[in-house]
Structure 1
Amino acid sequence: MKTFTYERATDPAQAVALLAREPGARFLGGGTNLVDLMKLGVETPGHLVDIARLPLDRVEETPDGGLLIGATVRNSDLAADPAVRTRFPVLSQALLAGASGQLRNAATTGGNLLQRTRCLYFQDVSKPCNKRQPGSGCPARDGAHRDLAVLGHSEACVATHPSDMAVALAALDADVLLLGPDDQRTVPLTDFHRLPGDRPDQDTVIRPGELVTGVRLPAPAAGLPSAYRKARDRASYAFALASAAVVLDVREGVVREVRLAFGGLAHKPWRATTAEAALRGGPATTDAFSDAVEAELAAARPLRDNGFKVPMARNLAVRLLTELADPDATAADPTDPRHTDHRRGDR
């Protein structure tokens, strides 16, 4: 690890000012991703601004009935928050499906959103990688890509975004709150992360010097049936091969509202807008769910070794939609996400 300097910020405005003062500086929250990348030589900041003790560590009700989640709220605290568990269960389930208990106790909401891909070539500085060094190439396309993207990838990059939490937030229509040197702004979570295009080094739309100060969950999703389901190579400590987050409102057998997002398939959480449009106002049946998800995944472009992700994602989503549409039919199913013991985590 290369030499770096360090200082601790006491409020968000000071943190932004400190970062602007030092070229090549980075914010440090829980450090569960950044420090690992520094050890690998992928990240080499000359200065760290510690934001872990900023007063952004609360989950608060908003006047309209939504929630405001501070950027430094720990993943374990967010997953256990009573309002999250009862009103936004998909988020609690996604958090508990990610990382180990030890990591969830350190990782923060803002850091989770900003974590970088676990593509082997990105993490190995002896290999070329367009995400790490633009223009150097993407050896993953013809190399080890079993875990990588089938949707939205480009010739420049086939990496996937690793977050479970961000997939749930995409399905919840969450907003990301940002503070920069000149102003504050709000970005929809679905627009916060980027597809790779020809600039895979840019994971998000965050501007230089901006700090994530929080995430806002809108009121319309509060209390609706929701759930998260994840497929992985082993029961704990593994990233998603494919995952699905669903928010579903069914009345008298008709889909009144649906939000579906996939993880493990793309460079960003993939909001399934084609499937959603096909389902709204239609029957809440397994056949309708299957047809809609098939239409969404028709855009997939699997590589040599990861075509299995397409039927895997389809099956995850269809089963989850079916379970939420008819909870009584799965009340005794031990694999139902509402009855699964997630405490072990997975990374």
Structure 2
Amino acid sequence: MKPFAFARPADAAEAVATVATEPRAVFLAGGTNLVDHLKLGVARPDLVVDVRRLTSREITDTADGGLRIGAAVTNSELAADRRVRERYPVLAQALLAGATGQLRNLATTGGNPLQRTRCVYFQDVSTPCNKREPGSGCSAVGGYTRYHAILGTSAALPDPTAPETCIATHPSDMAVALAVLDAQVQVLGPAGARTIPFAELHRLPGDDPSRDTVLEHGELITAIDLPPLPAGARSAYRKVRDRASYAFALVSVAAVVADGEVRLALGGVAHKPWRASRAEEALRGGPVADDAVRHAMDVELTTAQPQPGVDGGNGFKIPLVTRTVVATVRDLTQETQA
């Protein structure tokens, strides 16, 4: 581990100013992702700034019937909150599907959506990785691709030497649920406060895979707002993984079903939580029978680009994500009709 300086500011504004003036500074909240990367040599900051006690650890009702979640609220606290379990079961289920109880006791609302990919090549500093070292190439292409992206990549067979190539997936379960809930992210930065729609927080690799989000250096998440769901809405999270505990998603689905509306977000398939907007549009105002949902997913997955690999590739994700969406929507529709 590279030696680094450590700071514990008095408040969030001081923390933002401290990080903003040091190009190689990072925030530390729960540390469940950052500490791993410090040990592996993936993260090599000059300064670590502790913000764990600088943002709110409260969940408060908002005037419109939604919730504001302080950035320091732990995943365990959020999953256990009665209002979350009753109003937003998709979020509680997603949180409980992630990591272990010990990690959920430390992981925070502000930090969880910002965790970095678990791509084995990103975490192995002996291999080229455009996300870790821009311009070095992508070792995942043609390698082990079972957990890698099928949506949002630049080409069916990306050039592994191209500086923009990255087929990594975003690992957060919580983030998939927040995407389907149309959450709003409250941010404090050097230029002041701003609100970012959660669907716009994360970015695709584009020309710079090293940037996971649209946050500027020094910007700190202070809270996440959940708007109220439509009356009678049902929501759920379903995660398909290689083992039942402490495994990242092969594919996951967060769904909300209300009268005339189906919202869908996908995990394990892209560089960011993937809002299935084409499928939503195909289902809008129409039936949500299995055949209709399959057709909508055919529309959504038209641009899917499965990756070959030494492990057989990840083309299996295309039918798997469709079956998972169909099963999730079917269960919610039956609940609504009961």
TM-score normalised by length of structure 1: 0.91
Correspondence for 1:247 among 245, 252, 256: 256
Correspondence for 1:326 among 319, 334, 337: 334
Supply the RMSD in Å over aligned alpha carbons.
Answer: 1.4
In 2, are the aligned partners of 1:221 and 1:247 still within 8 Å (CA)? no
Taking a change above 3 Å as real, the CA distance of residues 222 and 128 of structure 1, as seen in their structure-2 partners, is: farther
Identity %: 60
Please state whether the residue corresponding to 2:200 is helix, strand or coil. helix
Deviation at 1:284, TM superposition (A): 2.4
Please state whether the residue corresponding to 1:214 is helix, strand or coil. strand
Aligned to 1:203: 212
Letter in 2 for 1:35: V
Aligned to 1:70: 70
Alignment map for 1:41-80 (pairs within 5 Å): 41-80=41-80
Taking a change above 3 Å as real, the CA distance of residues 223 and 36 of structure 1, as seen in their structure-2 partners, is: farther
Deviation at 1:10, TM superposition (A): 3.0
Aligned to 2:293: 289
Alignment partners' CA distance in 2, 1:153 and 1:75: 30
Aligned to 1:218: 227
Alignment partners' CA distance in 1, 2:67 and 2:96: 19
Alignment partners' CA distance in 2, 1:292 and 1:241: 20
Deviation at 1:200, TM superposition (A): 0.5
| CA deviation vs aligned residue, 1:294-345 (integer Å, no higher than 9, x gap) | 211122110110000111110110110011011289x9xxxxxxxxxxxxxx
Correspondence 1:158 to 2:167: yes
Please state whether the residue corresponding to 2:110 is helix, strand or coil. helix
Correspondence for 1:171 among 173, 180, 193: 180
Please state whether the residue corresponding to 1:262 is helix, strand or coil. strand
Taking a change above 3 Å as real, the CA distance of residues 222 and 24 of structure 1, as seen in their structure-2 partners, is: farther
Correspondence 1:312 to 2:320: yes
Letter in 2 for 1:171: V
In 2, are the aligned partners of 1:19 and 1:49 still within 8 Å (CA)? yes
Deviation at 1:221, TM superposition (A): 4.9
In 2, are the aligned partners of 1:66 and 1:222 still within 8 Å (CA)? no
Deviation at 1:222, TM superposition (A): 7.2
TM-score normalised by length of structure 2: 0.93
Correspondence for 1:271 among 270, 275, 294: 275
Q: Which piece of structure 1 moves more, 274-283 or 16-25?
A: 16-25
Correspondence 1:237 to 2:246: yes
Taking a change above 3 Å as real, the CA distance of residues 10 and 271 of structure 1, as seen in their structure-2 partners, is: same
In 1, are the aligned partners of 2:234 and 2:336 still within 8 Å (CA)? no
Alignment partners' CA distance in 1, 2:321 and 2:303: 13
Taking a change above 3 Å as real, the CA distance of residues 122 and 88 of structure 1, as seen in their structure-2 partners, is: same
Deviation at 1:24, TM superposition (A): 1.0
In 2, are the aligned partners of 1:289 and 1:322 still within 8 Å (CA)? no
Aligned to 2:100: 100
Please state whether the residue corresponding to 1:184 is helix, strand or coil. strand
Please state whether the residue corresponding to 1:103 is helix, strand or coil. helix
Letter in 1 for 2:323: N
Gaps of 5+ in 1: 251-255, 332-347
In 1, are the aligned partners of 2:97 and 2:239 still within 8 Å (CA)? yes
Deviation at 1:223, TM superposition (A): 5.9
Aligned to 1:188: 197
Letter in 2 for 1:218: P
Alignment partners' CA distance in 2, 1:275 and 1:170: 15
In 2, are the aligned partners of 1:224 and 1:247 still within 8 Å (CA)? yes
Gaps of 5+ in 2: 159-164
Please state whether the residue corresponding to 2:258 is helix, strand or coil. strand
Alignment partners' CA distance in 1, 2:48 and 2:117: 21
Alignment partners' CA distance in 2, 1:9 and 1:99: 29
Any runs of at least 4 consecutive aligned residues in structure 1 with deviations exceeding 3 A, and if so which?
Answer: 220-223
Correspondence 1:37 to 2:37: yes
